[in-house]
Amino acid sequence: MAVNGVLRPGIIQIRVLDMAEAVVHYRDRLGLHEVMTGDDGRVYLKGWDEFDHHSVVLREADAAGMDLMAFKVMDDATLTQLTADLTAYGVDVEDVAAGEQPATGRRVSFMIPSGHRIELFAEMEQAEFHPAIENPDVWPEEPKGMGVARFDHALLYGPDIDKVTDLFCDVLGFKVAEQAELGPGAVAVWLTCSNKAHDIAFVPNPEPGAFHHAAFFLEEQNHVTHAGDIMAYYDIPIDVGPTRHGITRGRTIYFFDPCGNRNEVFAGGYTYYPDNPTRYWTPEELGKGIFYYERELNDAFLGVYT
């Protein structure tokens, strides 16, 4: 599959209430590599299998949640073209100067109808700690904690998901890999810009800008079990799992950081190709779609977000 245009999720900036506790969670428990702390106190981290300088940014704030999610695009010419396409579509696009985040080139930033800030960027310096390029071992050093390999995707809650879907598909080139009917006129969508089962997902919600979870990729199913052992040992609050999704077919555990933000570890999932039809789930089978083994929804899973 030729990937161009929007390549992949690149950055997520998460609000945390206590930076020291959050760093222990994301660095020592999930196993992200701590890259640096900025002059403004933001902490930058990355997965062991990521080449870019960082993918996760923690910002201390009074309320938990997500500030923004940014996607990396092919090159600066693509960034310029997508900026023009967004503007022509009627989106108010703002420029973010190079260096606003360390080692990162210019970004363009815009609010989508669900109330979330989405950004695009083309350039980021390579991390000092990255997978080997010449004669590469399977990892640069043994993974720590849960051993998450990368920031994989996010699930966001908000209104006007039909408009969000149109923007992502008509302007940014995403595809609807999967969707679920939640009830009359309410459809959740799993969108991909690659050959992953999803790179971002949206669920209808009357409150705009809500953050359901950030997901981190694990290579194998048994790594999900290991992650569960880490959660149990350190008394990390588990929401759901270990289990499996019907939607995407991924293996999963949902849990919370010390600030109440939901995380997910995710392994597997089907390979998506642009000629695939959109898979869909009807309301009576939604429980099985979300949690394949339990075949029923968890009210807290649906109702708790930051």
Catalytic residue among 25, 53, 198, 212: 198
Catalytic residue among 50, 116, 245, 272: 245
Other CB atoms within 10 A of residue 41 CB: 10
Cα angle 160-162-163, degrees, rounded to a multiple of 5: 70
> Is-catalytic flag, 153?
yes
> Is-catalytic flag, 130?
no
Catalytic residue among 26, 157, 254, 305: 254
> Is-catalytic flag, 213?
yes
Catalytic residue among 33, 53, 116, 213: 213
Place of tokens 């000629």: 275
> Is-catalytic flag, 245?
yes
> Is-catalytic flag, 25?
no
Catalytic residue among 153, 157, 178, 212: 153
Catalytic residue among 116, 264, 272, 305: 264
B/e letters for 19-29, b = 16+ CB within 10 Å, e = fewer, are: beebbebbbeb
Catalytic residues: 153, 198, 213, 245, 254, 264
